[in-house]
Amino acid sequence: MHIVVPDEFNSGETRVPLIPEHAAKLVKAGLEVSVESGLGKKIEVTDDAYVSAGAKVFSDRNELFRKADIIVRLHKPSKEEINKLKEGCVYASLLDPFNEKELIETFMERGVSAISMEMIPRTTLAQKMDVLSSQASLAGYVAVILGAERLNKILPMMMTPAGTIKPAHVFIIGAGVAGLQAIATAKRMGARVSAFDTRPVVEEQVKSLGARFVKVDLGETGQTEGGYAKALTGEQLQKQREEMAKVCASADIVITTAQLFGRKAPVIITKEMVQGMQPGSVLIDLAVESGGNIEGSRIDKEVDVNGILIIGLTNLPGRVPVHASQMYSANMFYLIDQYWNAKEKSFNLDLEDEIIRGCLITHQKKICNEMILNFYNK
């Protein structure tokens, strides 16, 4: 069974999907691993390091695609790349299947088994394969560092002979994986931290990190079976905005991370709310790629609105690519290791298995994922 890791050509991608440490473990488990020459360059990992790990290094990208039994990658392929794969090949990466119907159909027609890493269930058993969590915690960390760097103030309180400096106020909206890491980072840096989430269970987690939980009575909110937030009604969202506006007015940094699984992110901060903030404040929209939580945020842009900065930079984990690669690579290793049968030399895509049922989108020339099928047939 041959695992292939082609280089990423997405603009600005700095992460690497498989590092030598995990390549070595896969080789030890009886798999053959081949990588494209230059794969590790962005994180200072040489081709020789992969060779020392027992992998082979190839320069001919087409040859790599042709020989793959399993492709390990960060991003979705082009249609041309799918057409180079042999029937029965497994392709595992982030795939954005809700928005990529055509690509999913190409996988299906070609007989490629597509694994969408964002669809790995959020369960205890699957935690070690969960790339959304591993990358989101880094994004939360980087968001605070970025905000601190752009802010024209310091974060901690400072008592000096020249006077006392008050701590900066950081407000985090959405306290999932990224939000909780952002809270912890801002607290460590000495800021005063407030946070809000529509899932009531989060209040305890926010408080345990030493932050203030902003209480808003929105009536029934709750979460889905998978632990994701439910969408608010128009009325609830309006009420949320009114309460958030008050907190934003006193915040120096606002970080929004509010997402709705498989749907467009809710707009929580309106233009009027931005205008109600103090000049010099910084907003960071971590949901910018799924529609944005902040009106006026733009993908990969920093927008200045009367002295208030709205940051919509994407791929924040890519700003710490060594650790982002290390975690993504570990997630991939655990996924393969879990389903690799060394005795039979086969990769078991068992649709009875809860994790496989969640993340496998196409198999044996069919779309086999129930959630995606329902979504496409809506």
Judged by beta carbon, residue 63 or residue 118, the one nearer ligand NAD is 118
Strand 360-363 with 366-367, pairing: antiparallel
Q: Are 320 and 327 within 8 A, CB to CB?
A: no
Site residues for ligand NAD per CB under 6 A: 122-124, 127, 130, 132-133, 136, 173-179, 196-199, 202, 227-229, 232, 240, 257-261, 266, 268
End-to-end, the C-alpha distance of the chain in Å comes to 38
Which is closer to ligand NAD, CB of 108 or CB of 175? 175
All residues at 6 or more sequence positions from 189 whose CB lies less than 8 Å from its CB, including other chains: 144, 148, 155, 156
Q: Are 221 and 236 in contact (CB under 8 A)?
A: yes
Would you call 122 a catalytic residue per the annotation?
yes
Cβ of residue 139: shortest distance to ligand NAD, in angstroms? Answer: 10
Tell me whether residue 58 or residue 228 sits nearer to ligand NAD (CB atom): 228
Active site residue 228: yes
| Inter-residue contact 262 to 297 (CB < 8 Å) | no
**What is the DSSP-derived secondary structure letter of residue 228?**
P
Active-site pick, 228, 319, 334, 357: 228
Q: How far is the CB of 34 from ligand NAD (least distance, A)?
A: 31
CB 66 within 8 A of CB 84: yes
Q: What is the DSSP string of 150-215?
A: HSSS-SS-EEETTEEEPPPEEEEE--SHHHHHHHHHHHHTT-EEEEE-SSTTHHHHHHHTTPEEPP
* Residue tagged active-site, from 7, 47, 91, 130: 130
* CA dist., res. 114 & res. 312, Å (int): 30
Is there a catalytic annotation at residue 127? yes
| Rounded least distance, CB 232 to ligand NAD, Å | 5
Q: Which is nearer to ligand NAD, 136 or 367 (CB)?
A: 136
Residue nearest to ligand NAD (CB): 176
Report DSSP state, residue 344. T
- Residue 297 φ/ψ, nearest 5 degrees: -80, 145
How many whole angstroms from its chain centre is CA 296?
22
* CA-only gyration radius of the chain, Å: 22
Q: In the bound complex, what is the minimum distance in angstroms from residue 276's beta carbon to ligand NAD?
A: 18
Smallest distance, ligand NAD to C-beta of residue 216, A: 9
Least separation in angstroms between residue 33's CB and ligand NAD is: 27
Least separation in angstroms between residue 117's CB and ligand NAD is: 13
Question: Catalytic annotation on 328?
Answer: no
CB atoms within 10 A of CB 14: 17
Torsion, Cα of 264, 218, 184, 43 (10° steps): 0
Q: Which of 69, 96, 127, 241 is catalytic?
A: 127
> Which CB, 61 or 241, lies closer to ligand NAD?
241
Cβ proximity to ligand NAD: between 124 and 160 the closer is 124
Count CB-CB contacts under 10 A for residue 175: 27
The two tokens of residue 160 are 């000096």
Tell me whether residue 39 or residue 258 sits nearer to ligand NAD (CB atom): 258
Catalytic residue among 133, 134, 135, 240: 133
Q: Which residues participate in catalysis according to the annotation?
A: 122, 127, 130, 133, 228
